[in-house]
Amino acid sequence: MVILAMVLAVALQAAPTLAPNPCAAPRPVRLLPVDQAATQPDFFTFRARLQSAIARRDEAAVLAVADPGIRTSFGADEGLETFRIKLRDPQATLWADLATALALGGTFQSPDSFVAPYVFAAWPKGLDSFECAAVTGDRVRVRASAAPDSAVVGSVSYEIVQVLPAQRESAMTPVRLASGRTGFIASAFVRSPIDYRAIFQKTAGQWRLRAFVAGD
């Protein structure tokens, strides 16, 4: 229990915020994808089965691997019943959020703890986790405006960028690159380190989804 408490204390915290330390450093900061799951075959198999269950929206299979006290927020939301309600909420995007988080790899925090996605698990210390975000693709186009078909003004590969204020949520995210240039990137390729992350814990020889949370 002591080890679990330590793991959760580290994994549930957002990457530290140190100011002033802008996302746009003199040189681009890159966050390359990492996925250590294959280093432990039992976890790799477990995750593959869970991903398959998520893809077919098999509620029973997902709940079967969730910890009885699963955390789903930083408030009082915990337990299987709360998780079940959120899975069934037609207004929520939890199924898609789970699929995306697991598809983006992750790292082992200990032999018995795995955290996904890599954007959270491997976030560089010292970079603001609210102001910055990671570009999760290679040669992702930077466009001149929020119009998806606007002129391409550059490209970035797995770089950390500064996310600029937006008037509303859209398919394009306004960003500032390390060069100082601003533009728009397809939101599907921009991920905040404090977006949803999954924490898995191995207890009594069984892997369990211990938490699925977003925010700070």
pLDDT tens-place values along the chain, 216 residues long: 444 455 555 455 544 433 343 675 557 889 999 999 999 999 999 999 999 999 999 999 999 999 999 999 988 878 999 999 999 999 989 999 999 999 999 999 999 999 999 999 999 988 889 999 999 999 999 999 999 999 999 999 999 999 998 877 789 999 999 888 899 999 999 999 999 999 999 999 999 999 999 998
For the chain, where do the domains classified as CATH 2.30.30.40 start and end?
132-191
Give how far Cα 29 sits from Cα of 22, 132, 140, Å. 11, 11, 15
Structure tokens at 109: 């925090």
Scanning the structure block, which residue is given the tokens 């986790």?
Answer: 129
How high is the pLDDT of residue 18? Answer: 35
Please, what is the Cα angle at 83 between 78 and 86, to 5 degrees? 125
Please give the CATH number for the structural domain made up of 132-191: 2.30.30.40
191: Cβ contacts below 8 Å, ≥ 6 apart: 104, 117, 119, 133, 134, 136
Number of other CB atoms surrounding residue 174 within 10 Å: 19
**How far is residue 200's CA from residue 116's CA, in Å, rounded to a whole number?**
8
For residue 28, what pLDDT is reported? Answer: 80
Q: What is the pLDDT of residue 169?
A: 74
CA-nearest of 119, 151, 150 to 135 is 119
Amino acid at 107: T
pLDDT at position 179 is: 83
Around 39, how many Cα atoms within 13 Å sit in the side-chain half-sphere? 13
Residue labelled with tokens 């306004």: 174
pLDDT of residue 146: 93
